[in-house]
Amino acid sequence: MSIFTGSGVALVTPMNEKGEVDFNVLEALIEDQIAGGTDAFIICGTTGEAPTLDDEEHLETIRRSIEIIKGRVPVIAGTGSNNTAHAVMMTEEAEKMGADAVLLVTPYYNKTTQDGLYAHYRAIADTTKLPCILYNVPSRTGTNLLPATMARLAADVENIQAIKEASGNISQVAELAATEAFQKGCFDIYSGNDDQIIPICSLGGIGVISVLANVAPRQTHDIVALYLEGKCREACELQLKAFELCKALFCEVNPIPVKAALQMQGFAVGDPRLPLVPMTEAGKERLRAAMKDFGVL
C-alpha cells in the first residue's frame, strides 16, 4: 500500500526571534495545511532546514508534529544523513515516536558509489519497520541514485517503498518507471519538483513532495487529484498557472523564498538559519507578484 497519494508538504521549520524552533507557529502551519487538503507531512527535510537543526531540535520537531497531526494524515520524518550510523539512529528514534515513514536523502559531500548507496540504504532499512522513501536530489548532494540501483533496492528490501525524484531529468524518471521493479509495484514515485508534478504523474507517479504546498496547499493537492481523476486538462492548466510561482520559490536557495512567502501570508516563521540569509528585496518583489498572480496573496 502506498504511503500517501497526492500532495505531501515539505514543511518549513518556523523559528522565533531568538532563532529557536517555534512550536506554536508549527501548530498553526499544520492546521492550515490540513484545512487546505494536504495529504501528508514531511517534517525536517531540506525545506525544514534539517542541516542546521541539532538532534534534540530535530527529534522534538518530529515528535511535536506527530502529536499535533494525531494520525489525520501520514507523517514522514526526514532522518537521512551522509553518516549511515546517524541516519540509523534518527530513523529508530522517529519510529519510536510514531512516524508513519521516513525520508532518506542520498549521502552528500562524502558521496559514494552506486554499490555504496545500496549498502547505505539497506543498512538503514534493515533496522526499521517503517516504510522508507529514498530522496534523489543530485543538485544538492552531488550524488545521483540511478534507476537500476533504486529498482534493485526496492526489489530486495520490502520496506523501501518509494522515491522522491528531484533529479529534474524526466528521461531518468522514465527509465525509473520502465524498470521491472516499478512495473511490478515494488515502489512508488513522487515528484520532488513542483514544476514537474504532471510530467512525473504521467509516467506513473502518484504525487509530489512539495515546497509549493507550503503557500498553496489546496492548489497543490488539486493538481495531483485532478490528474489522477482523469481530468488531465484541468490538472495541466493548474500546473501551468503555478509555473511562475514555482520558479519564484526557487529564485534564491530553498527555503529562503518559501519562508519569505509564508511571512507575506501572515505566518511568523522567522528567517532561515545561517548559512542561509533572508530574501533580497528584488527576490521578494518577484515572489510577491507571483503569489498575487496565483491567488495566494
Active-site amino acid positions: 135, 164
CA gap 189, 206 in Å, rounded: 6
CA gap 190, 201 in Å, rounded: 8
Q: Is the dihedral of CA 201, 205, 206, 210 positive or negative?
A: negative
> Under a CB-based contact definition with an 8 Å cutoff, are residues 210 and 8 in contact?
yes
- HSE-up of residue 60 (Cα within 13 Å, Cβ side): 10
Quick count: other Cβ atoms within 10 Å of Cβ 244?
17
What type of residue is 70?
Answer: K
Quote the DSSP letter at residue 15.
B
CA gap 180, 152 in Å, rounded: 10
| Joined grid coordinates for residue 263 | 511571512
- In the chain, DSSP finds a helix count (H) and a strand count (E) of 14, 8
> Under a CB-based contact definition with an 8 Å cutoff, are residues 61 and 48 in contact?
yes
| Joined grid coordinates for residue 222 | 488539486
Distances (CA, A) of 156 to 92, 100, 187, 189: 21, 21, 11, 17
- Where is 228: in which H helix or E strand? helix 217-228
